[in-house]
Amino acid sequence: MTLDETSKKSVVLAPLVLLSACDHYIRSARGSKRRVVGVLLGQNNGTRLRVANSFAVPFEEDERDPAVWFLDQNYIESMNDMFKKINAKEKLIGWYHSGPRLRQSDLAINELFKDFCPDPALVIIDVESNNLGIPTDAYTAVEEIKDVSHNTTGAANNSRMVRRPREALYIYRQLLKQKRRKKSV
């Protein structure tokens, strides 16, 4: 897949996801420098990720060493199984954290999420943003293969996070438009 093909992918967030992430942060990490992590559920049609739901995940990381972190994979599996019983159309499509920016360990955490879905999205939700607008950024990992033919070891693989367009509150706006149309009739 080329960068041009991957850059067409966008992320649509339902308001419930933003509310759930903020609630998760307030209950778990408010007043600290810790971030919270959760799972994103929804649908992926190849060009658009529709994030409809989420759930919080137990997560710890060492403030002094960003390479040291713990994410409970058994919890993710059991919660994902329960959510499948509630709504089989919603699949695990990525993860979120409370930001406010990308961190050194995000690529490693993203690799772990590849055990659950082939191309996980990362949505950073800045829960303490004072700016107007939607406090989110969406990313997916892009694998870069560098040709090192002069080297005997062959090609080197490298991953990086690529920012994606997001359409948070898109669904909410559509619902408001529908209500206004019904009132005017």
pTM of the model: 0.78
- What is d(CA 96, CA 17) in angstroms, rounded to the nearest whole number? 10
CB 97 within 8 A of CB 36: yes
Structure tokens at 26: 């307030």
- Alpha carbon distances (Å) from 96 to 2, 53, 79, 110, 148: 25, 11, 16, 10, 34
- Mean pLDDT for the stretch of residues 75-100: 95
- Mean pLDDT for the stretch of residues 155-159: 60
**pLDDT per residue over 105-155, tens digit each?**
999 999 999 999 999 999 999 988 887 777 888 998 887 666 655 555 555
CB 174 within 8 A of CB 50: no
Q: Which residue has the higher pLDDT, 32 or 183?
A: 32
Return the pLDDT at 169: 45
At residue 83 the predicted structure's pLDDT band, cuts being 50, 70 and 90, is very high
- Mean pLDDT for the stretch of residues 9-27: 92
